[in-house]
Amino acid sequence: SGSCTEEFEIPLFDLSTITKATNNFSAKRKIGEGGFGPVYKGILEQGQEVAVKRLSKTSAQGEDEFKNEVVYIAKLQHRNLVKILGCCIEGGEKMLILEYLPNGSLDSFIFGDRQSMVLDWPKRFHIINGIARGLVYLHQDSPLKIIHRDLKANNILLDNDMNPKISDFGIARISEEDEIGAMTNRVIGTYGYLSPEYALHGEYSVKSDVFSFGILVLEIVSGKSNRRFSPPDLSLNLLGYAWELYKEGRSIELLDEHLCDSCLTPEVERSIRVGLLCVQQRPEDRPSMSSVVLMLNNEGPLPR
């Protein structure tokens, strides 16, 4: 009994419970490296699988990201966001206990070693649509209006049914409603996904998430990663390539070679077009996530 913070009423786990569940944080149980430290798979006494995100950076930034994540994730509840089960703050340790998602991140699915399990187009569209719905919730339907700021394939986790779940709220921020953009002099996030106004001028808004979403769409469609590209070459990358193909009516060449040629259905074309709308240079030209969902599902007009 007890809770992580007075304010948020998240269940508090004992350190002994988590130590046991993770086999004393054994290397075998480590599933990856997250924003502020390693992530372990844990199995609770009742057999329930959990993911344990352990704060390891003893830096002010690590502490901030941990606190940020607890505070935000506790208030958010949506089928396309990772669920928090509780936390553990004891003996100098700080950990988040999250639902365990057996299929890991989208990153390893589309660019990684799981290429043998090629995602067909309907699954890819399901993933794109789910991420978009999660973002509509974050941006406008959640009690806090939140900008994620670090959307990338590595932060999209997949459950057993390939439902995407947005994770890692370490650097998320509340969006000030009537502000077009907030400023920061500390640009954190991941190159390849950062919008130009954020990467170059530290200006962020919900429209920076829309940009990152657009990159994700192009990555999911093409099976190619945009991560290795960084400023000032923002145009010499996947999105520049996608634009070229689109303008010349050759969008089919963007498609992942693992997808069938007959895949260039109106649905795929729509997704590519929506992705390209989202990565426009000027934030004000990018659509909101709610119009993205409408356009993806052919329920709203798609501008030329």
Rule CB under 6 A: which residues touch ligand ACK?
A: 31-34, 39, 51, 82, 98-101, 104-105, 107-108, 157, 167
Three-state DSSP at 292 gives: helix
Report the DSSP beta bridge partners of residue 182: 204
In the complex, minimum distance from the CB of residue 52 to ligand ACK, in angstroms, rounded to a whole number: 9
CB of 39 to ligand ACK, least distance (A): 4
**Is 150 labeled as catalytic in the residue annotation?**
yes
Cβ closer to ligand ACK: 98 or 194?
Answer: 98
Return the structure tokens found at 102: 């057996």
Which member of 14, 64, 113, 150 is catalytic? 150
Kindly tell me which of 82 and 238 has the beta carbon lying closer to ligand ACK. Answer: 82
d(CA 132, CA 80): 9
β pairing state of 49-54 and 84-90: unpaired
Which of 192, 214, 193 lies closest to 292, judged by CA? Answer: 214
> What residues contact 95, with CB distance under 8 A and at least 6 apart?
13, 18, 52, 53, 54, 55, 87, 88, 89
Residue 69 or 107: the one with the smaller Cβ distance to ligand ACK is 107
Which candidate, 229, 220, 212, places its Cα nearest to that of 258? 220
Residue type, 271: S
SS3 4: coil
Nearest-angstrom CA–CA distance, 286 and 168:
24
In terms of CB distance, is 156 or 296 closer to ligand ACK?
Answer: 156
**Burial tier of 133 (Cβ tally within 10 Å: 0-12, 13-18, 19+):** buried
Helical segments of 94-237, H only = 106-110, 121-136, 196-201, 206-222
Nearest to ligand ACK by Cβ — which residue? 32
Min CB(15)–ligand ACK separation in Å: 20
State the minimum distance, in angstroms, from the CB of residue 229 to ligand ACK: 21
Report, in Å, the least distance between residue 51 CB and ligand ACK: 3
Q: Would you say 101 or 268 has its CB closer to ligand ACK?
A: 101
Positions annotated as catalytic residues are: 150
